Amino acid sequence: MSKFPVLHFPHRHLLGIDGLDAADIAIILDLAETYIEQNRADDKKRALLRGRTIINLFFENSTRTRTSFELAGKRLGADVINMSVASTSVKKGETLLDTALTLNAMHLDALVVRHPDSGAVKLLAEAVNCAVINGGDGSHEHPTQALLDALTIRRRKGRLHGLTVAICGDVLHSRVARSNIALLNIMGAHVRVVAPRTLLPAQVSRLGVEVFHDMARGLADVDIIMMLRLQTERMHGSFLPSIREYFHFYGLDHNKIARARPDALVMHPGPINRGVEIDSAVADDLDRSLIREQVEMGVAVRMACLDLLLRANTPMTEH
Amino acid sequence: MPATLFSNARLLDPWTHLDQVGELLAIDGRIAAIGAVPSAQVPQDTIRVDCRGNCLAPGLVDMRVHIREPGQEHVETIEGTSRTAVSGGITSLVGLPDTTPVIDDVSLVEFVTRRARKAGMVNIYTYAAATKGLDGATLSELGLMAAAGALGFTDGTAPISDSLVMRRLLSYARTFDQLVIQRPEDPRLAAGGAATEGEIASRLGIPGIPAAAELILLERDLRLVELTGGRYHASLISTAAAVHAIATAKTRGLPVTCDTAPPYFTLNETAIDGYSTDARLSPPLRAEADRLAIIEGLKNGTIDAITSDHAPVDQDEKRVPFIAATPGAIGLETLLPLVLALYHRGEMSILAALRAVTQAPAQILRLPVGRLAIDSAADLVLFDLDMPWRIGRRGLRLAATNTPFEDMSVKGKALKTFVAGRLVYGFDA
């Protein structure tokens, strides 16, 4: 058992990066490191969470995040059930709390929730009596994505502190951007955002970033380029004239990367829109692209989060 | 009805700048004497109320209340609104027309008036819809509804965005010397927004409404007022820029008045942190600089009146994700203490603060209330200026409990409320 010590993690839920400190983040990343090897071995399964029940409750379509959480739970020995709720059939609100009541009756140990509305996961967390992990809420937060990005960067660069990271593209609609901005600030990285003004939230610099509207300048001497997916499904009305124009000015290709440090690495939370925000040649460039590695780190990080919330906090107490 | 003699009262009346300890006599529902009442004037079976030095002022006039009847009686009935209003010292209130059905017809104006009379207690008036079914396009029967008792014309929470419609509305309303009330917000610029645009909304991932959305429609309206000469009242002013625009319009002599509500001078955008849906209001809570500008506007008289903008919302519509929540907050019970807070914080004199909820709305609406004058209706509130209490959901008397002021400590409480000389509320300590 000493191989799997119970760590101290003073949080009941993981609703966002906001609320965590550098020590919390380091605990998660360190624990995730230990799961990377396990995931590469033939026998990928441990019985740490045997008998525990986890539900992936997704109010938005997702394949990769849901699969990643499912694998994470199963590799720790938990029973994992996926519930997809088509948002069209949900009359928002009542149903969300009704769902919470139903889930409470099922005696869950953890709930992973994705929802199209900012704040919806917090609302649900207040109504259920199990640990809740935010799998993405509206344009608010996607904490496990930021954690897996941090793990990926840390493994390649050996640190987060002092690195310059450019987050490029649709920051306005992006929960990935908000979580990453928060995490990178906590860990002492320098964060830039690069986007046309219509895709930046108001007073974005107050979130702790340097703002650029020009890729060439924004990418100058950066260590990490994080591309964001253009979230056309969240866009009501016209934010951009055309994909062609967007790619011309903000799509990542090798010409634009040339402005960054020679050893700069490229990340993307996926799924990628080839030819929209990123050129295929960049996405598939093994020397530059961390996209596949991010997916691998995702499983390890989610195992760490489930482990910490379910084992470190045992026995669960009512709040 | 027996007469009532109030003695040992601190008589407060902004209209006559009265602030002195004395007596007030009410006979047959009207004020018969103020100050020192000669004993010869006091009838035999007079009820005597010893005010013990507490404040006796005109009952509050609340010119913006969302009445949920007809249509949403499960949220609040006219009777419920009445009972709550008098417990907050309000003796006259005006309902908005955006009920179900919309008050856009003479018969509906009469319905509200009739239901209000039946509930008794408080004087309830109504505005009527400026456009038929609030469609923003077809003028409703302004003249007929005015004759039936409608106090003014507004599309309630829906701003009239079509400039031509607004021009004709102001112009036509002027024919009948009627008031047009608008909550200015450019609906296209505000589309999809749920909080004021800024750092907090950006952090929370909530689409923002820029302060300019208020200013743009307000400035357009002010130009149309200039063009038509119609009487115009801007409701729920929440931004510094709008206060400035109103001040300029007044300087230029335009027939313009405006109001705000306690949330806009008491709270700022930080109240929504943690996705507090009770703080989801329309217009949204603004930046601290705006809040200070609203107080300044109240102090210098740019903002005439303070309304409760009482908007009871069902719990089911508040216990949802922030963006899906119905905007609005209850406010009848918290109006008096939050207005008095302006006095307690040293920002306004007690008479100036009270003027915003008595004389000012009465003058804008041309109602013969909101004053202590011989022969005017004895609509009175007796309140303890300093009584401390904590605003809490359980303490509130309504079914709906959507207040953004939960747990706030305030001073000042209505002890007794009289409408036309009749005791309609007595505080039970």
What are the DSSP calls for B57-92, one per residue?
A: EEPEEEEEE---TTT-TTT--HHHHHHHHHHTTEEE
Does residue A123 sit at the B interface (CB-CB below 8 Å)?
Answer: yes
- Residue A311 is predicted with a pLDDT of 87
Cβ neighbours, 10 Å, residue A308: 22
Mean pLDDT taken over chain A: 92
- Extract the tokens encoding A198: 């219509």
Q: Taking CB atoms and an 8 Å limit, are B321 and A203 in contact across chains?
A: no
Q: How confident is the model at residue B173 (pLDDT cuts 50, 70, 90)?
A: very high
- Strand B30-35 relative to strand B18-27: parallel, antiparallel, unpaired? antiparallel
Residue A228 predicted with pLDDT over 90: yes
CA distance A87 to chain B (A): 13
CA distance A205 to chain B (A): 9
Q: How far apart are CA B417 and CA B426, in angstroms?
A: 7
What digits encode the pLDDT tens for the residues A174-186? Answer: 999 999 999 999 9
Amino acid, single-letter form, for residue B11? L
Q: How confident is the model at residue A313 (pLDDT cuts 50, 70, 90)?
A: low
Q: How confident is the model at residue A315 (pLDDT cuts 50, 70, 90)?
A: very low
* C-alpha B365, offset from chain centre: 12
CA distance B205 to chain A (A): 4
Does residue B199 sit at the A interface (CB-CB below 8 Å)?
Answer: yes
Catalytic residue among A13, A115, A140, A142: A142
Cβ neighbours, 10 Å, residue A44: 13
Question: Average of pLDDT values for B236-251?
Answer: 98
What digits encode the pLDDT tens for the residues A31-56? Answer: 999 999 999 999 999 999 999 999 99
**Among candidates A146, A104, A108, A110, which has minimal Cα distance to A19?**
A146
**Among candidates B326, B330, B354, B327, which has minimal Cα distance to B340?**
B354
Q: Closest-CA residue in chain A for B209?
A: A202
Q: How confident is the model at residue A2 (pLDDT cuts 50, 70, 90)?
A: very low
Does residue A67 sit at the B interface (CB-CB below 8 Å)?
Answer: no
Using a CB-CB cut-off of 8 Å, the residues of chain A touching B270 are none
Residue B71 predicted with pLDDT over 50: yes
What digits encode the pLDDT tens for the residues A171-219? Answer: 999 999 999 999 999 999 999 999 999 999 999 999 999 999 999 999 9
B324, A97 Cβ separation under 8 angstroms: no
Residue B161 predicted with pLDDT over 60: yes
Q: How far apart are CA B196 and CA A307, in angstroms?
A: 39
Q: How confident is the model at residue A318 (pLDDT cuts 50, 70, 90)?
A: very low
- Residue A99 is predicted with a pLDDT of 85
Does residue A171 sit at the B interface (CB-CB below 8 Å)?
Answer: no
Q: How far apart are CA A258 and CA A260, in angstroms?
A: 5
B166: helix, strand or coil: helix
Cβ neighbours, 10 Å, residue B14: 24
Using a CB-CB cut-off of 8 Å, the residues of chain A touching B317 are 93
What digits encode the pLDDT tens for the residues B285-299? Answer: 999 999 999 999 999
Q: How far apart are CA B225 and CA B216, in angstroms?
A: 14
Q: How confident is the model at residue A267 (pLDDT cuts 50, 70, 90)?
A: very high
What digits encode the pLDDT tens for the residues A95-120? Answer: 788 888 888 999 999 999 999 999 99
Q: How confident is the model at residue A234 (pLDDT cuts 50, 70, 90)?
A: low
- Residue B364 is predicted with a pLDDT of 98
Q: How far apart are CA B297 and CA B188, in angstroms?
A: 27
If you count residue pairs, one on A and one on B, with CB atoms under 8 Å apart, how many are there?
76
Q: Taking CB atoms and an 8 Å limit, are A141 and B205 in contact across chains?
A: yes
Catalytic residue among A65, A99, A144, A152: A65
Q: Taking CB atoms and an 8 Å limit, are A118 and B197 in contact across chains?
A: no
Residue A284 predicted with pLDDT over 80: yes
Does residue A112 sit at the B interface (CB-CB below 8 Å)?
Answer: no
What digits encode the pLDDT tens for the residues B25-46? Answer: 999 999 999 999 999 999 999 9
- Residue B12 is predicted with a pLDDT of 98
- Strand A110-115 relative to strand B153-154: parallel, antiparallel, unpaired? unpaired
Mean pLDDT taken over chain B: 95
Q: How confident is the model at residue A87 (pLDDT cuts 50, 70, 90)?
A: low
Q: How confident is the model at residue B248 (pLDDT cuts 50, 70, 90)?
A: very high
Residues β-bridged to residue B92: B61, B123
- Residue A220 is predicted with a pLDDT of 97
- Residue A94 is predicted with a pLDDT of 54
- Looking at the domain B59-365, which fold is it? TIM Barrel (3.20.20)
Domain ranges of chain B: 4-56+377-426, 59-365
Q: Closest-CA residue in chain A for B323?
A: A117
- Extract the tokens encoding B75: 């949220």
- Residue B178 is predicted with a pLDDT of 97
Q: How confident is the model at residue B428 (pLDDT cuts 50, 70, 90)?
A: confident
Residues 6+ away with beta carbon under 8 Å from B27: B3, B43, B421
Q: Is A164 a catalytic residue?
A: no
What secondary structure letter does DSSP report for A1?
-
Q: Which of A26-30, B24-28, B76-80, B325-329 has the lowest mean pLDDT?
A: B76-80
Residues β-bridged to residue A265: A224
B123: helix, strand or coil: strand
Q: Taking CB atoms and an 8 Å limit, are B275 and A137 in contact across chains?
A: no
Name the maximum alpha-carbon separation found in chain B.
Answer: 70
What secondary structure letter does DSSP report for A289?
B
Q: How confident is the model at residue A3 (pLDDT cuts 50, 70, 90)?
A: low
Nearest by CB to A117, from B201, B210, B321: name it: B321
Does residue B202 sit at the A interface (CB-CB below 8 Å)?
Answer: yes
Among left, alpha and beta (phi > 0; psi -120 to 50; other), residue A284 is alpha
Question: Average of pLDDT values for B37-62?
Answer: 95
Cβ neighbours, 10 Å, residue B115: 17
E strand residue ranges, A4-48: none
Residues 6+ away with beta carbon under 8 Å from A67: none
Nearest by CB to A207, from B202, B274, B322: name it: B202
- Residue B337 is predicted with a pLDDT of 98
Rg (C-alpha) for chain A, rounded Å, is: 19
- Looking at the domain B4-56+377-426, which fold is it? Urease, subunit C; domain 1 (2.30.40)
Q: How far apart are CA B252 and CA B248, in angstroms?
A: 6
Q: How confident is the model at residue B395 (pLDDT cuts 50, 70, 90)?
A: low
What secondary structure letter does DSSP report for B285?
P
**Among candidates A232, A236, A224, A278, which has minimal Cα distance to A254?**
A278
The long-range contacts involving A128-132, CB below 8 angstroms and separated by at least 24 positions, are: A128/A100, A128/A103, A128/A104, A129/A104, A129/A316, A129/A318, A129/A319, A130/A103, A130/A104, A130/A316, A131/A12, A131/A13, A131/A14, A131/A309, A131/A310, A131/A313, A131/A316, A132/A13, A132/A14, A132/A15
